[in-house]
Structure 1
């Protein structure tokens, strides 16, 4: 059966040890006539500990870990893999009783997210809650312990498909690992995350927002050379036709509200003189510039690296997107959560920069361009499966369909 999100909505790890933590902040729920104490916060912490190691997604160590994961998955897949989860499992959570819980438990046991039990009953108990959270963490989902739509869908990806991801990504990492320096930044597009790596260890990890499928973030290798503090944002010509005209037809005050001004050379243009329903090529070629400030699309900074795509890392005023499962919203550039910490990491070889100086420059809205002395390498990559040393295998959706195409190398 081929599964997809539309069908689902219309109708409604690793193979090894799992972590257990003692309860600290227990919450109660009633199961039959008994009260069971469950540490949901502790279960979330245990799930996050599975993936919060210092090993990079992209490194020589990743190759070894992927090889080990493949050796574990191969005999399991040959034996038939895991079973599908019925739609009746949708929205099940701690305290529920349902025959579908049995299938959920069997699925979690199969992928090592729950310990093996002699009998899987129909109660969504503490072990099930812990297992669901571990599964969610490994798949980059919001860790809430509920069989929500994204979790149900991820559980129903077959073991054979997961194995194919391991094969593809082993080759991808193998192709890139030899090109890595001691210090580098990795943007992993399917995970929408960024790692700042030094001497084989992740020193910072950031949640990101990357390009949506129709405006994909390009895959490339480059060097970070500059940080623009409190920058102007020059609206790309492609966005003027695709987005700005639509916004102006919906709200004639949009540019003023967003603090965006139009210039023809040094002459300021009145937006009301432009026919936004039929904008001319000359008008598209005007400069559309957003002033620095709280609403600026770049937020407090822009991080530049050499490339022909006008792609860069940047801050954002829209922090709410960092809390989503699928963070594919940008027009190709990469938004960085806690970007002030990354800026400090990039400028640490500049001598006169520390976290306090970065933060105060942000807050003062000081307009400043700083060259990055270290010229830190950056790799935007496409890795949908990886593993760490403690045996946790992580998977992500094939958002750009490169797995589907069997792509293992990308033009630099």
Structure 2
């Protein structure tokens, strides 16, 4: 067997990104000999490689060009028949065998997630598992290497749907082809991910928690103005109606346990027992949660963003969400993973605000507001398909804005734009 370099191995596995690797993957389906190198001797080790994280910003000329190339390549593949569906009547994993595994191999090969030299064995081996992980990474699915419902659904989306998805999102990417600033933040809502960009390169990556289907995070262009350490959280009227009143009906101690105080319009503090929770009386009052990152819904930090929607970015005490595939959990605001790294990047040009100073401000427990000098451009975008130097990426059309069904979204909640006052969710009842 001929040898293959590690870089060539990576390119073969990320063939759905740019011309040469993807063309090689396509050739596997029609018998063309592209001269692509074959597998290297250390195959067991290589089979465990992960898809490298892109350092190319989502909003960039490179991503637009990559997406254009991906469209052309997917169209070429479609002209040759596209891909066949993978039978989904049983979960496929290491040790599985049969015709469904053969179909799975061909599905992975045709989009470059598995090198064609892997062959058409009916056995699900470590090579197939590596290909599945790479496919899952390209579609925002947890990289388990197991083909279950969500992975089957994504694999069996028709190629014409994928082409249309790329075309729709190319238009969205082109809308941001102007000067975005030397330093800016991008939130991609369908990916539930944040990236900071400086001088054309990604500086930091962050998982995010974004708006629920019925409380959507808005698409917008705005500016981050200040960082608020140890903030209070004022509960929006919409959340009082939708969430707080029902929680108090379930647990009369909820407000006390979560350090949420009640104030009249005149500033007088009320006790929970003074409010009729079987009515809408509570909507006449202000509810404010005390600072404290372990319990406050905003965590230790809030980033103030000038916008008409009343939304912002912030820390959260519920950090477990960042390990989930499904992170559409808020009422419109955005929860940011590793928020201290994010804040350190935002405050980079503020003299004296290094990481030690940030940690000190958080430890103090005191409300401290720091104005960003200068303000930083922030772009909240809705991009469900794109391509860069590594691979073609697809995400669920979670808010159903692409204009057609498809993907693994199986949500049935009604679609409403986020209310301007919807900011974040109340803590759970403990």
- 2: CA distance between counterparts of 1:132 and 1:187? 27
Say whether 1:108 aligns with 2:115. Answer: no
1:80 positional shift: 2.0
- 2: CA distance between counterparts of 1:106 and 1:234? 54
Normalising to structure 1: TM-score of the pair? 0.86
1:48 to 24, 45, 51: 51
- 1: CA distance between counterparts of 2:288 and 2:111? 51
- 2: CA distance between counterparts of 1:150 and 1:184? 33
Structure 2 partner of 1:31: none
What secondary structure is seen at the aligned counterpart in 1 of 2:304?
Answer: strand
What secondary structure is seen at the aligned counterpart in 1 of 2:85?
Answer: coil
- 2: CA distance between counterparts of 1:96 and 1:67? 37
1:43/1:133 contact within 8 Å kept: no
After the TM superposition, which parts of structure 1 deviate over 4 Å for at least 4 consecutive aligned residues?
A: 16-23
Give the stretch that moved more between structures: 311-320 or 170-179: 170-179
Say whether 1:404 aligns with 2:407. Answer: no
Structure 1 partner of 2:241: 241
Give the stretch that moved more between structures: 238-247 or 112-121: 112-121
Say whether 1:371 aligns with 2:374. Answer: no
> Structure 1, residues 235-276: CA drift from partner, whole Å, max 9, x if none?
011000000011011111111111101011321111112121
2:118/2:127 contact within 8 Å kept: no
1:118 positional shift: 7.4
- 2: CA distance between counterparts of 1:86 and 1:278? 53
Structure 1 partner of 2:362: 362
Structure 2 partner of 1:176: 176
Structure 2 partner of 1:284: 283
What secondary structure is seen at the aligned counterpart in 1 of 2:398?
Answer: coil
1:89/1:104 contact within 8 Å kept: no
Say whether 1:66 aligns with 2:59. Answer: no
Query: CA 1:143 to 1:386, structure 2 compared with 1: closer, same or farther past 3 Å?
Result: same
Structure 1 partner of 2:4: none
Question: Unaligned stretches of 5+ in structure 2?
Answer: 1-15, 26-37, 406-430
1:287 positional shift: 1.3
- 2: CA distance between counterparts of 1:101 and 1:139? 20
> Structure 1, residues 181-202: CA drift from partner, whole Å, max 9, x if none?
1211000000000010011110
Say whether 1:273 aligns with 2:274. Answer: yes
What secondary structure is seen at the aligned counterpart in 1 of 2:374?
Answer: coil
Give the stretch that moved more between structures: 141-150 or 342-351: 141-150
- 2: CA distance between counterparts of 1:373 and 1:169? 33
What secondary structure is seen at the aligned counterpart in 2 of 1:117?
Answer: helix
What secondary structure is seen at the aligned counterpart in 1 of 2:175?
Answer: helix
- Quote the RMSD (CA, aligned, Å): 2.0
What secondary structure is seen at the aligned counterpart in 2 of 1:120?
Answer: coil
Query: CA 1:198 to 1:125, structure 2 compared with 1: closer, same or farther past 3 Å?
Result: same
- 1: CA distance between counterparts of 2:358 and 2:249? 39
2:39/2:117 contact within 8 Å kept: no
- 1: CA distance between counterparts of 2:221 and 2:40? 40
